[in-house]
Amino acid sequence: MLHGPAAPVSEITPDIHRLIDDMVQTMYAAPGIGLAATQVGVPLRIFVADLSAGNRAGELITFINPELLEIEGTQHEDEGCLSVPGFTANVLRPSRAVVKGLDRNGDPQQIEGTGLLARCFQHELDHLDGRLFVDRLRGLTKDQILRKIRKLSKSGKW
């Protein structure tokens, strides 16, 4: 499921609200700063993000059917993923990203993120498009991570 594209949400129902609530609880429990529906086994275009990891009220962002409108600049920072626990790597991303979509109530929203928020938006959008941060890596770094994952998988520790 992590390598397949997510489908658009056609209607915001009570089930979608329950999914979003579950995603938020899962993200905070991990703890993480973002989570896509595909990461919890639901192939729908939804993600949640909160750079404070639940420590500051009012920072939770929910996107339904998000689209990346603009990107600009570059940042090369360490990145990890709740779907690839225990692994991090430097990933090149734009330093600014503008995303539009619907909030949890179905109202249109457009949010500009810079720095870590831009990285988070792009990371979660990648999930919705069937990509992991490891897919953005090249060369030795990617090979080392994939080799370690295969080894852990063979030993039953993954």
Q: Tell me the catalytic residues.
A: 124
Is there a domain that residue 72 lies in? Answer: yes
Is there a domain that residue 5 lies in? Answer: no
Domain extent, residue 118, equals 14-154
CATH of the domain at 49: 3.90.45.10
Is there a domain that residue 3 lies in? Answer: no
Q: pTM of this prediction? A: 0.93
pLDDT tens, residue order, the chain (158 aa)? 788 999 999 999 999 999 999 999 999 999 999 999 999 999 999 999 999 999 998 999 999 999 999 999 999 999 999 999 999 999 999 999 999 999 999 999 999 999 999 999 999 999 999 999 999 998 999 999 999 999 998 998 87
Number of structural domains found in the chain: 1
Place of tokens 């993480």: 32
